[in-house]
């Protein structure tokens, strides 16, 4: 069993924010690490919802035409196809990003079933 901690996985760069894959999730589960002043321009994921959990720090998120301040402990969803972006202002920011492809929802009932032994 491999157990990681966010503090050991998080890596920051003055060149730009870092995307760090977690436990071989191939881009579906990753940490996004920002230094002050770094940002992600508006973009969209046409085929997957993106969920964010703010692990540490605070930043400004734009989703569609709305802007909000997001602080440590917040979690929210950006639906597939919706423009979104991040701005980090004054302190290091660590986000957990989870992208869920649309077809995964069809399989979710099977995936969450539990078998007891």
* pLDDT tens digits, 50-66: 999 999 999 999 999 99
In this structure, of 35-39, 63-67, 101-105, the range with the lowest mean pLDDT score is: 101-105
Q: Which CATH superfamily is domain 15-106 in?
A: Jelly Rolls (2.60.120.10)
Residue with the bigger pLDDT between 41 and 108: it is: 41
The single residue listed with the structure tokens 């690490």 is 33
Per-residue tokens: 97: 């990003």
Q: What confidence score (pLDDT) does residue 2 get?
A: 74
Strands of 1-117 (E only): list them.
Answer: 18-21, 29-34, 39-43, 48-56, 58-63, 66-71, 75-78, 84-88, 93-101
**Residue whose token pair is 């977690």:** 22
The residue among 89 and 31 whose pLDDT is bigger is 31
CA distances from 59 to 8, 20, 27, 87 (A): 21, 18, 22, 6
Helix and strand tally (H, E) in the chain?
A: 2, 9
Give the global pTM.
Answer: 0.85
pLDDT of residue 90: 86
Domain ranges for the chain: 15-106
For the residues 22-40, what does the mean pLDDT come to?
89
| Between residues 33 and 3, the one the model is more confident about | 33
Give the integer Cα–Cα distance in Å for 79 and 32.
18
């Amino acid at each position: 069993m491999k157990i990681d901690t966010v503090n050991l996985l998080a890596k920051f760069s003055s060149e730009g924010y870092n995307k760090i894959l977690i436990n071989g999730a191939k881009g579906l589960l990753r940490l996004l690490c920002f230094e002050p002043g770094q940002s992600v321009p508006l973009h969209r994921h046409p085929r997957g919802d993106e969920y964010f959990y703010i692990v540490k720090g605070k930043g400004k998120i734009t989703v569609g035409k709305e802007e909000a301040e997001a602080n440590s402990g917040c979690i929210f969803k950006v639906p597939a196809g919706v423009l979104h972006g991040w701005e980090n202002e004054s302190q290091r920011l660590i986000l957990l990003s989870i992208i869920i492809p649309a077809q995964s929802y069809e399989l979710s009932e099977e995936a969450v079933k539990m078998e007891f032994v």
